[in-house]
Structures are given as C-alpha cells and as structure tokens.
Amino acid sequence: MKKHVTEQTVIFFSVAKWLFLSSFIGIIIGALMSGFLWILEFSVNNRSVLPIPYYFILPLALPLTIWVIKTFAPNAMGHGTEKVIEAVHKREGKIKVAVMPIKLLATVFTIFAGGSVGKEGPGAQIGAGASSVIASILRFSDADRKKLVICGISAGFASVFGTPIAGAIFGIEVLTIGVIMYDVLLPSFIAGFAAFTTAQFLGTDYTYFDIHFYKAVDLDLTLIAEVLVAGIFFGVVSDFFITVLTDIEKVVAKIKYNPYIKAFTAGLIMVIATLIVGDRYLGLGLGIIENALDPEGFLSADINWYDFILKTIFTSISLGSGGSGGIVTPIFYVGATSGVVFGHLIHNEVALFAALGFVSVLAGTTNAPIASVIMAVELFGIEIAHYAAISAVVAFLVSGHRSVFPSQKIAMSKAGSIDVEMGDDIEHSNISIHMEDLEKFKNLGSQIKYKRLKWQAKNFHHKKL
C-alpha cells in the first residue's frame, strides 16, 4: 500500500510539474506566433508599396536570405520543422537562440518576395527554439529538454494553424514513424491549447471551412470505394511531391557555382515562369486553397488540373535554392488542388475530395496520419472524420518509407514484405523487399491473366456459335 501511495505521489508531482511548464511555454509561444503571424500578414498586405510587381525582387531576396542565414544562424536554413526534428534526434533538442529571430526575418522576406514556402516551419522552429532556451536557462536534463522542445513544436503548429489537438499530435507523431510518445502527450496537449488560446486572445484569426457535407449516418458504399481510390491517388501525389522536392534540392546542390548566383538564377527562373503562368503559385497561396474548398463549386471551377504540379515545382525551387520557410502550407495547396482534380474526374463532391486531399497529402508526405485525421475534424467538422481516416491512412501507406523530413526515424514497416532498419532515419535507412513475395505477386498476376484470356476465349467461342 505504501509503495502504491508513493508511486501516485510521484506521478502527481510529475503531472503538476509538466502542467505548469507546458502552460508556461504554450503562453510564450502563442505570443511569439501572434507576433510572427501579424508581421507576416502586414508584409504581404503591403506589397503594393513596391513600384514593381513584388515577385520581381525574388532574384535579390533569395541570395539575401541565404546571406542572412549563413551569417547569423546556419541552422535556420530550409524548412524549419526538419531542422527541429534533427535537433531532437541528434543534438538532444539544443537549438541556438539566434535561430528564432533569423528564421522569422528570413521567412517573412521570402514570402514577401513571393517564395513558395509555408509558415509552419518557422512556427515549429521558433517554438522549439524558445523551449530549448528556457530549458537551458532552467538547467534541465537532456531528457526534459527534449520533452519541452517537443511541446514547443506542438505549440508552434497549433498556434499557426488554429488546430490545438492536431498540433499536439503532430509535434509527437512527426518525430518517428510508427511511434507515439505517450509520456509527452499530456504536456503537448496543454502546450498546444495554451498557445492557441493565447494567440486567439491576442487577436489572431483562423480560417475554418464549412464544406456542407452531411453524410454521417447513411452508409454510402460507392463513396467509400471512391475515398479508397482517392487515398491511393493522394499517396501517389505525396510521392510525387517528395520526389520533386528531393531531386531539385539534389540538382541545385550538385551545381558547382556560388550559392548566391544559384539563388539569383532560381529567382530569375521563377520570375520568368510567373510572367507566363501567373502568380497563383507564389507565396502561401491561401486564396487558391479557399477556392478549392468552396462548397458550392463556383470557385473550385477556377482550379486548373496542373496547379498541384506547378505548385510542387515552385516550392521545390524556392526551398532548394535557399528560400526560408515551412513546407506544410504548400502541401495543403497541393492536396486541396489535387483533390479538386480527383473530384472532377469522378464527378462527385469536389469540396469533400479537396478537403480529403488537404489532409491526406499531409499524411502521405509527413507520415503523420493521426494528426492529419484530427486536423480534418478541427478544420472541416466531425462529418468528414471517417472518410478522412480512410483516405489519410491509405495515402500514408501508399507514399512508402519516404518523407519531406529526412531526419524522421523509422519504427515500423508499412508492408510485411518490406524490411527496414528500425531506429534509423529515413535519409540513411536501408530498405529491402522480400523477392519471394514479388514472385508470388507475379505468379498471381500470371494466373489472373491466364484465367481472363481463357474466359475471353470461351466467350468468343460462344458468340461465334
């Protein structure tokens, strides 16, 4: 009995400790995110002060971004969430204080000039950076620092997108494929809610979507089948996004020129491309996302079938050439616009499939299906939950053992016929396929083909008679 009471007492004090710490860190990060979002919105809304189209400064903005980051905070390069995951796995969550202001400045400048990047990366990196600094000041152990940094990721994500539950889960789920760290679950939830509430209190507005979809009671087998096919489609789109992003980064890295010249050239290419196809692929693209999710279908009719392809290319060039920012907002754009394409192809519920694409491509590219499903509920309503669950999990599986975050660790195989090295990161993981299982699939395919030909021959014989 005494041992039991002692155990409960220790747990109580541990919960009380993390209740205070996570609330404290959530409030701080919510305030920081409010400031970041206000500065970002102010800069985007005042592009008109320029005497030229805003995207004309891209060839200058990208080299300047590289210089600022290289000079003051090299770890602020690229999309911030990846750097935070790397810090958690490889540096015990240690992040330098200079990363926060430099990441904010570089991201605002990149988006102001039209770079196709997102805002969650800075949110995660600023949130994690603030947590790391506070942990160092309080002389936390490495284990407690990592927990606080994970709370910072959750709080940053929650306060940027206005999704406190999805933000809490994302901060945990995105670190390791197939593992949810339950010891960080409560602190992450509290930090996410505290950050979200603080940001709202300070005047941050969030967008939620009413897609007018109410099929929570009727069992629609045809729609379920369509959602399954959509999940496969979104998994392929996710794989395409990861491939283009990775390949363009590798190509740019292999070019043996000064990085500032490469960034200038990339900016020039984007300016020329924008003059040809328009500026719908620049910046955050929130207007296009809202059009794709239009429940009446009037605005979604303005979505082109190739929008998700060009957005992928613009984002890859922006980040691969040195632009600073997140990657989740472009993923939302790609998911929503590809969902519109799928909805038009099957002539059914365009807004629903845009919403499913919004969260399913997130699941496929980041390996965070649980957070993606919860985000669907928070943004679109409970009616979409069961369809989002099917689509997001299928996309997660179809995209394979790949990610936009190469520092993610692997703790599961997505198929029984595939062996992966558990505990290794995606970038350096060895993946092998059981060849005997492939032979079984080939033999099965041959048998199906033989039976189909036999059936066709039999039908032809009957028709002839």
DSSP notation for 346-364: HTS-HHHHHHHHHHHHHHH
Name residues whose C-beta falls within 8 Å of residue 84's C-beta, 6 or more positions apart in sequence. 95, 124, 125, 128, 149, 153
In this prediction, residue 212 has a pLDDT band, given cuts at 50, 70 and 90, of low
Residue 335, classed as helix, strand or coil, is helix
pLDDT at 270: 95
> Rg of the chain's alpha carbons, rounded to an integer?
24
Q: 345 CB contacts (<8 Å, ≥6 apart)?
A: none
Domain ranges of the chain: 2-201, 221-400
Residue 316 DSSP SS3: helix
| One-letter amino acid of 86 | E
Tokens representing 130 are 């603030």
154 vs 127: CA distance, rounded Å: 8
Mean pLDDT of 303-324: 92
Confidence of residue 455 (pLDDT cuts 50, 70, 90): very low
Confidence (pTM): 0.89
- Read off the amino acid at residue 186: L
pLDDT in tens, 254-275: 888 888 999 999 999 999 999 9
Architecture in CATH for domain 221-400: Orthogonal Bundle (1.10)
Q: Which residues, 6 or more positions from 414, have their beta carbon under 8 angstroms from its beta carbon?
A: 396, 397, 400, 401
Domain 2-201 has CATH 1.10.3080.10: yes
Instruction: Give CA–CA dist 287/53, Å, rounded.
Output: 18
**pLDDT in the model for residue 442:** 56
d(CA 407, CA 171): 14
Identify the band that residue 460 occupies on the pLDDT scale cut at 50, 70 and 90.
Answer: very low
Type of residue numbered 421 = E
Copy the structure tokens of residue 163. 């999704």
Quick: pLDDT tens for 42-59.
999 998 899 999 999 999
pLDDT score of 439: 61
Domain 2-201 and domain 221-400 have a common topology: yes
Residue pLDDT, tens place only, 21-41? 999 999 999 999 999 999 999
Share of the chain residues as helix, strand and coil, in percent rounded to the nearest 5: 70, 5, 25
Average pLDDT, stretch 119-130? 85
Name the region of 310 (left: φ>0; alpha: ψ -120 to 50; beta: rest): alpha
Query: What would the mean pLDDT of 345-355 be, rounded to a whole number?
Result: 87
Mean residue pLDDT of the chain comes to 84
Tell me the C-alpha distance between 177 and 171, whole Å.
Answer: 12
pLDDT of residue 456: 46
Q: Rounded to whole angstroms, what are the CA distances from 255 to 55, 106, 299, 321?
A: 24, 23, 41, 11
- Strand-pair category, 409-410 with 431-433: unpaired
Which residue in this structure is represented by tokens 């592009």? 47
User: For residue 206, which amino acid is it?
Assistant: Y
Q: What is the pLDDT of residues 367-414, one digit of tens each?
A: 999 999 999 999 888 888 889 999 999 999 999 888 998 888 887 777
Q: At 216, is the secondary structure helix, strand, or coil?
A: coil
